Amino acid sequence: MSRTVYVNGVYMPEEEAKVSIFDRGFLFADGVYEVTSVLGGKLVDFHGHARRLERSLGELDMPAPVTVEELLDIHRELIVRNEVTEGMIYLQITRGAPADRDFVFPDPEATPPTLVLFTQSKALIESPAAEKGLSVISIDDIRWGRRDIKTVQLLYPSMCKMMAKKAGADDAWMVEDGFVTEGTSNNAYIVKGGKIITRSLGTEILHGITRAAVLKFAREAQMEVEERPFTLEEAKQADEAFITSASTFVMPVVSVDGVSLGDGTPGPVARRLRELYIDESVKAAI
Ligand code: PMP
């Protein structure tokens, strides 16, 4: 069934949706995005995603095409029109389509941003991967230095996923100076002696909205959390590990570079956090 998507103020069938060849998202990856999950037809942590979007736009000096309230309305309208009960809403804003290709940013008055949203229906709670756990390999992190901005420059993470696939693994953790930065499209965690360890926030990683929620729930449940960089060696010797993202929630990791963690099955901390996160998110969704 064809989806109804949103492009610059208009809801239309996906087949009719078009963006200019001069769009800076297409020519320069000059754009930012957000992915918000939908549970029970409602949005999970919408305001967290909206705040990060505003920050990404601000860091790139890109104007917001609509207000947060309008953005919420568009998300909800797409959920209704596409009858989404579980899945994701993808949102992308680019610096628009000037008359020609030019490295210099166009005047935002003359070139309005491009705003695109579409839905992706998918079962998120019931997950065979969460039952089995993921295998990850390590890959050098050679991305640019502003990973805290959620830009659409996703070629390297995409290549990392392909390298993982080729190596027979599920995903990759990126490593810089011996320390794990994050997963290709998720934040990375290890558990040692009951303590949850994840890299502290900075420009080296994306400030995951799921990360913020999971750490809050963990602390509320009296679980010990340490925010600091951890090495690849520590990861291989961890009791368990997991990743978080808006589309995978909390997903256990059971091996790193072929080294099994614990008994090689999803660990108790990751299982508990996944349950906690899903329960709380269903309750708080809007
Ligand atoms: N790090 C990277 C590199 C990501 O691409 C993502 C997901 N977009 C995350 C972390 C997780 O962020 P969130 O929890 O907000 O989905």
pLDDT on residue 39: 98
Q: Which atom of ligand 1 is nearest to the CA of 211?
A: 14
Q: Which atom of ligand 1 is nearest to the CA of 34?
A: 8
- Distance (angstroms) between ligand 1 centre and the Cα of 230 equals 18
Same domain? 58 vs 187: no
- Distance (angstroms) between ligand 1 centre and the Cα of 5 equals 23
Tell me which residues have their CB closer than 6 angstroms to ligand 1: 35, 182, 185-187, 206, 208-211, 244-246
Q: Which atom of ligand 1 is nearest to the CA of 246?
A: 16
Would you say residue 49 has pLDDT above 90? Answer: yes
Same domain? 107 vs 177: no
Report strand pairing: 249-256 vs 31-39: unpaired
Please provide the average confidence, as pLDDT, over all residues in the chain: 98
- Distance (angstroms) between ligand 1 centre and the Cα of 100 equals 32
- Find the helix packing angle between 209-220 and 46-59, rounded to 10°: 130
Would you say residue 19 has pLDDT above 80? Answer: yes
Q: Which atom of ligand 1 is nearest to the CA of 209?
A: 15
pLDDT on residue 97: 98
CB 136 within 8 Å of CB 171: yes
pLDDT tens by residue, 79-131: 999 999 999 999 999 999 999 999 999 999 999 999 999 999 999 999 999 99
CB 204 within 8 Å of CB 176: yes
> What is the SS3 assignment for 113-124?
CEEEEEEEECCC
Would you say residue 175 has pLDDT above 80? Answer: yes
Element spanning 170, H or E: none
Name the residue of 143, 147, 245 to mutate for ligand 1: max ligand atoms within 8 A of Cβ: 245
Alpha-carbon distance of 3 to 35, in angstroms, equals: 17
- State the sign of the Cα–Cα–Cα–Cα dihedral 102, 108, 114, 115: positive
Would you say residue 206 has pLDDT above 90? Answer: yes
Same domain? 230 vs 166: yes
Same domain? 67 vs 155: no
CATH number for position 42 = 3.30.470.10
Q: Tell me how many degrees the CA angle 118-253-41 measures, rounded to the nearest 5.
A: 30
Same domain? 117 vs 132: no
Same domain? 57 vs 171: no
Same domain? 116 vs 151: no
Q: Which of 18, 122, 132, 150 is catalytic?
A: 150
Name the residue of 33, 148, 187 to mutate for ligand 1: max ligand atoms within 8 A of Cβ: 187
Read off the pLDDT band of 142 (50, 70, 90).
very high
Same domain? 107 vs 132: no
* Residue minimizing CA distance to atom 9 of ligand 1: 186
Would you say residue 1 has pLDDT above 90? Answer: no
CATH number for position 135 = 3.20.10.10
Same domain? 224 vs 239: yes
Alpha-carbon distance of 29 to 42, in angstroms, equals: 30
Structural domain containing residue 58: 4-121
Same domain? 160 vs 270: yes
pTM of the complete model: 0.97
From 66, 99, 121, the end of a domain falls on 121
Dihedral of CA atoms 7, 12, 17, 23 in degrees, nearest 10, equals -10
From 68, 91, 121, the end of a domain falls on 121
* Residue minimizing CA distance to atom 10 of ligand 1: 186
The H-assigned helical ranges of 35-185 are 46-59, 68-81, 128-132, 155-166
Please confirm, yes or no, whether 283 is among the known catalytic residues.
Answer: no
Residues whose CB falls within 8 Å of the CB of residue 165, separated by 6 or more in sequence, listed in order: none
pLDDT on residue 156: 98
- The mean pLDDT of 26-38, rounded to a whole number, is 98
From 121, 142, 173, the end of a domain falls on 121
Read off the pLDDT band of 226 (50, 70, 90).
very high
Same domain? 64 vs 165: no
- Distance (angstroms) between ligand 1 centre and the Cα of 255 equals 20
Same domain? 92 vs 140: no
State how many domains the chain has.
2
